[in-house]
Amino acid sequence: MAQSALRIGVAGLGTVGSALVRILDKKAAALAERCGRAMTVTGVSARDRSRDRDCDLSKVTWFDTPAALAASDDIDVFVELIGGEGDPAYSAVKQALEAGKHVVTANKALLARHGVELAQMAEERGLILNFEAAVAGGIPIIKTMREALTSNDVFRVYGILNGTCNYILTRMEDEGLSYDACLAQAQALGYAEADPTFDVEGYDTAHKLSILTSLAFGSVISADDIYVEGISNITAEDIEAARDMGYRIKLLGVAQKTASGIEQRVHPTMVPVRAPIAQIAGVTNAVAIEADIVGRLVLSGPGAGGDATASAVSGDLCDIAKSRPGHQIAPALGKPAALLAPYKRAAMRAHAGGYFIRLTVHDQTGVFASIASRMAEQGISLASIVQRRKNGAAENADGPQTIILITHETTEQAIRDALEKIEQDGHLAAPSQMIRLEH
C-alpha cells in the first residue's frame, strides 16, 4: 500500500526556499518515483507574503510565524531556512521536534551552537534531523562523513568552506588587485554582504568546521574552541610572493587529531599550486578528508547559491521520504548524542609546520643578521630569506625594505616569540605578516 504524500512546511522563502519550492514542483513525478512516496509543500512562513518569488504558492497555507508552522498538524517535515543561531529559528526547530516533526535545516550557525541538543531531541523522539545544506552547499559532505565513511577512522578534515573569501583571494591573484578592491567587487556581485565581517573574518568557515569536526572525531560540537583568523590583512604583496614561490593563498578550515587533543583552526594558508585544493577558484568550495582506510578524498562543488543549496535540502527530504516508520533512525551527528566524546582542545600555539613571514624593516646595517639571530634563538631553521624588490628594480635605499622568510617546520609559539623580539629590537617599520604553509 502506497504511503501518503510527505507534507513539507518551509520556513524562510529567500533564495534557497524559493528554489526548493520550484525544484519540488518541477521534479515532483521523478522524486515520487525515486523515493517511493510523493512530496508536497503544504505550508510556508515568510516575513513578506507579497514578494514575487517565481514559484507557485497558490495551494499552500501561509503561517504568520515559523513556530506556528512547526506545530501545525498539516506538515510532517519542518524545513528551516531562516538562518541565525537564535530565535526564531532555534525555537521553531525545537517546536517542530517537540511536535513530532522531522527537521531539515541549512543553518550552520544554529547547529554550531545548539546541534548536540537538537540531535538528542530528535533521537529521543525517533525523528530525523538532516542538515546537508549547512556545510559546503551542494557538496554531499555530511552524508559522506556520516554514512559512507562509517568504517573509517578520520584523522584530518580540511577545506575551502567560504565562497566569498575564495572569490576575493582568486581575484587578488588573477588581477593583482588589492583586498579592498576585490571585496567591493564581491559586494557588487552579491557574493559578499554589505557587512562582510562574518565571511571575511572566518566565522562562517568556523561554524561549518565545527560541524565537520564533530562528525569526523565523534566529539561534541565546539565552535568556541576554534582559532579564527580572516583574510582582511592579506595584501597583494603576499599574493605575489606566494605565487613566486609556487604557493597559492587560501582560507582553510582545518581540524585534526593531535597528541594533546583536537586542533580546529581557520586561517589564510599557503598551499602548493599543484595541490588539488589550490586549484579551487572563485566561489567554489572543496573539502578534503584523510582517513585510515580510504586515504584522502577531495570533494568540490558549489558551496552556496539557491539551486545548489536547495539541491542539498531536497536530498535530505528524499531521505526522509524513503524512511519507514519503526525503522532505526541514524543519529544526526554520526553516533548517538549521549555518546559524543567531550571536546578536548589542543594547544594551538603548539601547532607545527612551516611558515611564510613578511617583514617590513628599516634600512639599517645588520638587520638581516639580527633577524636571523632571533630566529635561531627560538630554534627556527630558515629555508630561505630574501629581500623582495618591486617590478625588478631596487627599492628606495632610504625607505623601508621587505624581507620574506620561509621556515622549516617549527611551532607557532616559536615564531611568535621570535617576531616579538624582532619588534622589540626596533627593526620593523610596519606590522609583520605570518601565514602557515600546508603541504
CATH at residue 395: 3.30.70.260
pLDDT for residue 68: 97
Select from 244, 279, 302 the last residue of a domain.
Answer: 302
Q: Across all residues in the chain, what is the average pLDDT?
A: 92
In degrees, to the nearest 5, what angle opens at C-alpha 162 toward C-alphas 156 and 165?
A: 120
Strand partners, 388: 402
Residue 251: which pLDDT band, with cuts at 50, 70 and 90? very high
Half-sphere exposure of 12 (CA within 13 A, CB side): 23
Residue 359: which pLDDT band, with cuts at 50, 70 and 90? very high
Question: What is the pLDDT averaged over residues 80-84?
Answer: 96
Q: Does residue 403 come out as left (phi exceeding 0), alpha (psi in the -120 to 50 range) or beta?
A: beta
Answer yes or no: do 27 and 122 share one domain. yes
pLDDT for residue 103: 98
Answer yes or no: do 24 and 172 share one domain. no
Statement: residue 400 has pLDDT above 60: yes
pLDDT for residue 438: 84
Answer yes or no: do 191 and 287 share one domain. yes
More confident residue, 140 or 55: 140
Question: What is the pLDDT averaged over residues 75-94?
Answer: 97
* Contact criterion met (CB below 8 Å) for 299 and 139: yes
In 3D, which of 91, 8, 83, 77 has the Cα closest to residue 42? Answer: 8
> What's 192's DSSP letter?
S
Residue showing cell 617576531 = 419
* Contact criterion met (CB below 8 Å) for 221 and 211: yes
Of 101, 208, 250, 257, the active-site residue reads 208
pLDDT for residue 53: 84
Neighbours of 398 (CB within 10 A): 7
Residue 393: which pLDDT band, with cuts at 50, 70 and 90? very low
pLDDT for residue 139: 95
Is 394 within a domain? Answer: yes
Instruction: Give residue-wise pLDDT tens across range 216-241.
Output: 999 999 999 999 999 999 999 999 99
Q: Which three cell numbers stand for residue 3?
A: 504511503
In the chain, the number of structural domains is: 3
Answer yes or no: do 153 and 266 share one domain. yes
Statement: residue 305 has pLDDT above 60: yes
The three-class DSSP label of residue 21 is helix
pLDDT for residue 143: 96
CATH number, domain of 298, equals: 3.30.360.10
What is the length of the chain?
439
Answer yes or no: do 272 and 156 share one domain. yes
pLDDT for residue 350: 59
pLDDT for residue 385: 83
Statement: residue 120 has pLDDT above 60: yes
Answer yes or no: do 330 and 294 share one domain. no
Dihedral sign, Cα of residue 209, residue 213, residue 216, residue 220: negative
pLDDT for residue 86: 94
In 3D, which of 161, 41, 17 has the Cα closest to residue 89? Answer: 17
Looking at the chain, the whole-number percentage of residues with pLDDT higher than 90 is 79
Is 343 within a domain? Answer: no
Statement: residue 366 has pLDDT above 90: no
User: How far apart are the C-alpha atoms of 45 and 23, rounded to whole Å?
Assistant: 18
Domain encompassing residue 163: 142-302
Statement: residue 43 has pLDDT above 70: yes
Residue 1: which pLDDT band, with cuts at 50, 70 and 90? very low
Residue 364: which pLDDT band, with cuts at 50, 70 and 90? confident
More confident residue, 437 or 304: 437
Strand partners, 355: 436
Question: What is the pLDDT averaged over residues 64-92?
Answer: 96
Is 218 within a domain? Answer: yes
Answer yes or no: do 156 and 222 share one domain. yes
Query: Max CA-CA distance within the chain?
Result: 88
Answer yes or no: do 122 and 221 share one domain. no
Looking at the chain, the whole-number percentage of residues with pLDDT higher than 70 is 96
Statement: residue 396 has pLDDT above 90: no
Answer yes or no: do 241 and 370 share one domain. no
Answer yes or no: do 387 and 329 share one domain. no
pLDDT for residue 392: 44
Statement: residue 349 has pLDDT above 70: no
> What's 296's DSSP letter?
E
Strands 355-361 and 401-407: antiparallel
Instruction: Give residue-wise pLDDT tens across range 206-217.
Output: 999 999 999 999
Instruction: Give residue-wise pLDDT tens across range 319-328.
Output: 999 998 767 7
Is 417 within a domain? Answer: yes
Residue 303: which pLDDT band, with cuts at 50, 70 and 90? confident
Contacts of 57 (CB under 8 A, 6+ apart): 21, 44
Question: What is the pLDDT averaged over residues 84-99?
Answer: 97
pLDDT for residue 389: 58
Is 215 within a domain? Answer: yes
User: How far apart are the C-alpha atoms of 407 and 383, rounded to whole Å?
Assistant: 5
Question: What is the pLDDT averaged over residues 87-92?
Answer: 97
pLDDT for residue 351: 65
Answer yes or no: do 107 and 231 share one domain. no
Is 1 within a domain? Answer: no
Active site residue 208: yes
Is 316 within a domain? Answer: yes
Is 344 within a domain? Answer: no
Answer yes or no: do 431 and 396 share one domain. yes
Residue 363: which pLDDT band, with cuts at 50, 70 and 90? confident
Q: What is the pTM of this model?
A: 0.92
Q: Does residue 378 come out as left (phi exceeding 0), alpha (psi in the -120 to 50 range) or beta?
A: alpha
CATH number, domain of 59, equals: 3.40.50.720
